[in-house]
Amino acid sequence: MAPVKVSKICCIGAGYVGGPTCAVVALRCPHIQVTIVDLNKARIDAWNSPNFELPIYEPGLEEVVRQARGRNLFFSTDVDKAIREADLIFVSVNTPTKKSGVGAGFAADLNYVESATRRIAAVATTNKIVVEKSTVPCRTAESMRTILEANSKPGTRFDILSNPEFLAEGTAIADLFKPDRVLIGSLQTQEGKDACQSLAEVYANWVPRERILTVGLWSSELSKLAANAMLAQRISSVNALSAICEATGANIDEVAHAVGFDSRIGPKFLRASVGFGGSCFQKDILNLVYLSESLHLPQVAEYWRQVVEMNEYQKRRFSKTVVDTLFNTITGKHIAVLGFAFKADTGDTRESASISLIRDFLQEKAYVTIYDPKVEEAQIWLDLSEALPTWPLETIKKHVSIVHSALEACTQKEAIVIATEWKEFKEIDWQAVYDGMSKPAFVFDGRMILNADELQKIGFTVKVIGRGDRL
């Protein structure tokens, strides 16, 4: 056996991971044909849009697709053809947290991973390297290998690799161009190491060799969960400190800045906010909780569970601050929420703090106006419907308006809530906003992006997360 020279790649799943990752692979490896497949025809049609109206927003992604699409990058719904032709197959499907059954609320739902694996086994007629790209619980690759081997055709061999992504939405393309590391896990057999080398050769077209880490299969799977859990832990830690700051009169920005100068700690992920969101942090921590409980490690499970609980507490605490500041009631009051994506420079709303805040405001019978520069209206209505399952959509729409500019959102409101750190919110004409608001006018900065002193000079009452009122 020897490493396979990869000439054709198939990626199953055209979402936030598979799309950008394999688009960059195609751009950096013009000698490799890359086909991204998905059963969702509307999503594939968007990737093939003549005007490049792509299904996801990510800075730099359109430029990558423009350069590679039609050359060696293709998007298709013909899953079987792409599987048959590929030397290497990325499985990059969604792995949401289970909503029912054993492990509901904690364990990952691997239905899509299993379906993709069974499809590969049913269709493949030649040897394949199958790469687990989705974020999965430890030892998922073992299940995939069992399915493939039990259903493979005579003479067809499958090698399983783990190649987790470490992308941050909003900087995914930059992360892919210059990754901190590329992690590839394999079985420590000769065949496994050869397959690992084949994938490493693909990345070596643009990633320095010293940044391509090769480890055991199970270590690779756990490393992804561990990295996200420890990053989320830092956010929850600084958010816990922000509550103390507000109670004592300290400033969390100053505290985090001072702590970040410690070379053992460093400054990253020490910015307080209304809470973390996204597709990975909460899901991966809950995965660790479930794994720990399954391994009969209740203290470990409780430790990681508290990271998520602190995040939920931060959202509830911020909602309560809004209500308390607005004279202990927001019933019938009009509030502008600026930002619905879970962070700036993405249209992703998964686990967004905005959803929790707006749900709380609506349950207090407030009226909410939402503006976000990248999130589609249909996605907002879907997220709010899921957050308020007992409310008919018609009822939600009586209390919620979606507008297309920040200034429009803020007109004739009692309060403005900054929920996402979009750059344009720093550049709003705040004097014009103040002139068009009901008085007294309140601003609640949940992302620490505004100049509170300047706003106060205009006349606003400003509440910034992590900053106390005491001297």
pLDDT tens column, 79-100: 999 999 999 999 998 877 778 7
Instruction: Scan for tokens 């195609």, then name that residue.
Output: 26
pLDDT, position 97 = 74
Residue 158, sorted as left (phi over 0), alpha (psi -120 to 50) or beta, turns out to be beta
Q: Is the pLDDT reported for residue 276 higher than 60?
A: yes
Does the residue 469 lie in any domain?
no
Domain identity same for 171 and 72: yes
Residues 6+ apart with CB under 8 A from 451: none
Is 453 part of a structural domain of the chain? yes
Does residue 118 share a domain with residue 59?
A: yes
CB 361 within 8 A of CB 446: no
Say if 265 falls within a structural domain.
yes
Evaluate if residue 317 carries a pLDDT over 70.
yes
Q: CATH number for the domain including 117?
A: 3.40.50.720
Give 137's pLDDT tier (boundaries 50, 70, 90): low
In this structure, the answer to whether residues 263 and 149 fall within a common structural domain is no
324-327-332 Cα angle (round to 5): 100
Annotated binding-site residue numbers for NAD(+) = 13-18, 38, 43, 93-97, 134-135, 169, 280-283, 350
Query: pLDDT per residue over 456-467, tens digit each?
Result: 999 999 999 999
Catalytic residue among 10, 29, 280, 410: 280
pLDDT in tens, 224-237: 889 999 999 999 99
Assess contact for 21 and 176: CB atoms under 8 A: yes
Q: What tokens does 340 get?
A: 């619905």
Start-to-end Cα distance in the chain: 71
Are both 152 and 242 inside the same structural domain? no
Query: The domain containing residue 276 runs over which residues?
Result: 237-464
Question: What is residue 112's predicted lDDT score, i.e. its pLDDT?
Answer: 83
What mean pLDDT do residues 269-279 have? 93
Do 201 and 266 lie in a common domain?
no
Residue whose C-alpha is closest to residue 274's, from 171, 351, 167, 348? 351
Residues 390 and 359: beta-carbon distance below 8 Å: no
pLDDT given for residue 471 in this prediction: 47
Q: Are residues 99 and 244 in the same domain?
A: no
pLDDT in tens, 143-181: 888 888 888 888 899 999 999 999 899 999 999 999 999
Q: How many domains does the chain have?
A: 2
Q: Establish if 225 belongs to a structural domain.
A: no
Is the distance from CB of 120 to CB of 38 less than 8 angstroms?
A: no
Number of helices and strands in the chain (H, E): 18, 14
Q: Provide the pLDDT for residue 149.
A: 86
Judgement on whether residues 395 and 250 belong to the same structural domain of the protein: yes
Same domain for 243 and 347?
Answer: yes
pLDDT for residue 1: 56
The residue among 141 and 27 whose pLDDT is bigger is 27
CA distance 43 to 64: 18
Q: Are residues 145 and 252 in the same domain?
A: no
Q: Is residue 12 part of a domain?
A: yes
Whether residues 181 and 250 share a domain: the answer is no
Contact of 320 with 417, CB cutoff 8 Å? no
Annotated catalytic residue 11: no
Using an 8 Å Cβ cutoff, are 314 and 22 in contact?
A: no
Range from 123-137, 313-327, 359-373, 422-436 carrying the lowest mean pLDDT:
123-137
**Domain end position, chosen among 192, 207, 222:** 207
Tell me how far apart the alpha carbons of residues 216 and 138 are, in angstroms, rounded to a whole number.
12
Scan for tokens 């520069």, then name that residue: 373
